[in-house]
Amino acid sequence: MKINFNVPPHTGKELEYIRQCIEAEKICGDGAFTKKCNAWIEERTGTKKALLTTSCTHATEMTALLLGIKEGDEVIMPSYTFVSTADAFVLRGATAVFVDIRPDTLNIDEKLIESAITERTRAIVPVHYAGVACEMDTIMDIAKRHSLYVVEDAAQGVMASYKGKALGAIGDMGCFSFHETKNYSMGEGGALLLNRDGYIDMAEIIREKGTDRSRFFRGQVDKYTWQEAGSSYLPSDMNAAYLYAQLEIADEINDARLKIWNCYYEGLRSLAETGKIELPTVPEGCVHNAHMFYIKTKDQEERAALKAFLGEKGILAVSHYVPLHSAPAGKKYGRFAGEDRYTTKESERILRLPLYYGLTEEQNELIIDLVKEFYAG
């Protein structure tokens, strides 16, 4: 018996949709399925404009280009995140300024952001860890008072919300990931959400090699030309076709994931009540999307032992981020503002349990039983 940590989602419709692309002889970017995916995101999140991209990393890179991030700028973000959050800005010459996380949600501690602001700060990048929202009201208020941009790293936040607003659609811009490890996937892919006027034309140009090809296809210009420095950030329509098969039944996938998450939560509650482990916190006003189920062990040693115990039984449980400020590139391109009270400590206690669309109830129960067995022994 073997239970993987993740299995990429698929619904059965993917091949049919990819076949439609091939038969339509339209497999490059911005075909029918890309448009359907963009429309789905716009409708479900309320963003002004959604553009499918080749990854969330690339969507974030686009935000750095759109905001004109340059050498000497500073961008505030948590250290407990994926490398792409920092890469996108560091590539443009900015310094990543890391702020500590809250121990309850593992999101950036909104109360520590203001003291990390300098005259060089340009943007705040909240990361909605595990699809649980950061404290966005506070963050948006700080950004407004200091004239800073907010770029949401909502890679894990598709279908999650904060006080009724979709994650990714709250800040100036938001970024989704459709990597195979995310709730909805196209292998490699993502989306840029533009929530304010004024960036849409430029985003279309940057995404299409710096040309106004999008305007040309809409018949707004009679030939397209090189307008700005850009790159190629649009995915093949075949990838979009794969994704659309999931977006179509996103509610069903979301419900199935939440059922698994809730089963873990209820099943492991007794261990939390006796102080053996800690369970995730979902603050009031946050609706999460069951992107991830993690537990917190006592410390790193206990985590390694539990991971090995589950591994022997064929169950793949995994740790998560190595804090960026402790990594070689993090030391070179970033600095930690304030004290690292929780980032390192909490990162060493996290163990993520298998959670994917298609994990069965029996597997779900078995994993719970084994975690309990570990703590009983």
Ligand X SMILES: *Cc1c(COP(=O)(O)O)cnc(C)c1O
For ligand X, the binding residues (CB under 6 A) are 55-57, 81-82, 84-85, 127, 153, 155-156, 177, 179, 190
Residue reference for tokens 């280009």: 65
Contact criterion met (CB below 8 Å) for 328 and 311: no
Q: How far is the CB of 143 from ligand X (least distance, A)?
A: 19
Identity of the residue, 53 or 227, whose beta carbon is nearer to ligand X in the bound complex: 53
Identity of the residue, 176 or 374, whose beta carbon is nearer to ligand X in the bound complex: 176
Q: How far is the CB of 267 from ligand X (least distance, A)?
A: 25
Q: How far is the CB of 353 from ligand X (least distance, A)?
A: 17
Cα dist from 39 to 42, 43, 48, 95, 318, whole Å: 5, 6, 10, 35, 35
* Cα–Cα distance, 221 to 212 (Å, whole number): 8
Phi, psi (rounded to 5 degrees) for 351: -130, 120
Q: How far is the CB of 178 from ligand X (least distance, A)?
A: 7
Q: How far is the CB of 79 from ligand X (least distance, A)?
A: 12
Identity of the residue, 161 or 177, whose beta carbon is nearer to ligand X in the bound complex: 177
In sequence order, the 6+-apart residues with CB closer than 8 A to the CB of 131 are 156, 157, 158, 159, 160, 167, 183, 288, 289, 290, 291, 292
Q: How far is the CB of 62 from ligand X (least distance, A)?
A: 12
Identity of the residue, 177 or 343, whose beta carbon is nearer to ligand X in the bound complex: 177
Identity of the residue, 57 or 161, whose beta carbon is nearer to ligand X in the bound complex: 57
Contact criterion met (CB below 8 Å) for 280 and 130: yes
Identity of the residue, 122 or 352, whose beta carbon is nearer to ligand X in the bound complex: 352
Give residue 109's Cα distance to chain centre.
18
* Residue in 280, 11, 47 with CA at minimum distance from that of residue 176: 47
Q: Which residue type, as a one-letter code, is found at position 183?
A: N
Contact criterion met (CB below 8 Å) for 235 and 59: no
* Residue in 68, 58, 59, 62 with CA at minimum distance from that of residue 93: 68
Identity of the residue, 80 or 264, whose beta carbon is nearer to ligand X in the bound complex: 80
How far separated are the first and last CA of the chain, in Å rounded?
Answer: 22
